[in-house]
Amino acid sequence: GQNIDQPTEMTATEGAIVQINCTYQTSGFNGLFWYQQHAGEAPTFLSYNVLDGLEEKGRFSSFLSRSKGYSYLLLKELQMKDSASYLCGSYNQGGKLIFGQGTELSVKP
């Protein structure tokens, strides 16, 4: 089966750095996705990790440790527009992408 756990809410200050953690248990694990979802909008793709290590993409980075079943999304130089829900999703070899409950990030001035 698949099980994903991430914090429900986080608050950070504009210009700061925030790390959103995610733990997962997935049979036939085939990758870890992060999506961003603004209120009332569709989720949009941020990152995909299938090998251990850090993937950097501008202000956003994502890390994966397969042995620990652990990932994090790192957001640097936070902007007000980064206030959104961040969805951690694990992908199994059968082609099923399962999401956690989402982490609601609030960026304060």
Partner 1 sequence: DAGVTQSPTHLIKTRGQQVTLRCSPKSGHDTVSWYQQALGQGPQFIFQYYEEEERQRGNFPDRFSGHQFPNYSSELNVNALLLGDSALYLCASSPPGSGANVLTFGAGSRLTVL
Binding site for partner 1 (CB under 8 A): 30-31, 33, 35, 41-45, 48, 50, 85, 87, 91, 94-102, 104
Min dist CB 2 to partner 1, Å, is 9
> Which residue number, 69 or 100, has a Cβ lying nearer to partner 1?
100
> Which residue number, 17 or 50, has a Cβ lying nearer to partner 1?
50
> Which residue number, 16 or 50, has a Cβ lying nearer to partner 1?
50
Contacts of 34-37 spanning 24+ positions with Cβ under 8 A: 34/62, 34/71, 34/73, 34/86, 34/87, 34/88, 34/89, 35/86, 35/87, 35/89, 35/99, 36/84, 36/85, 36/86, 36/87, 37/84, 37/85, 37/86, 37/87, 37/102
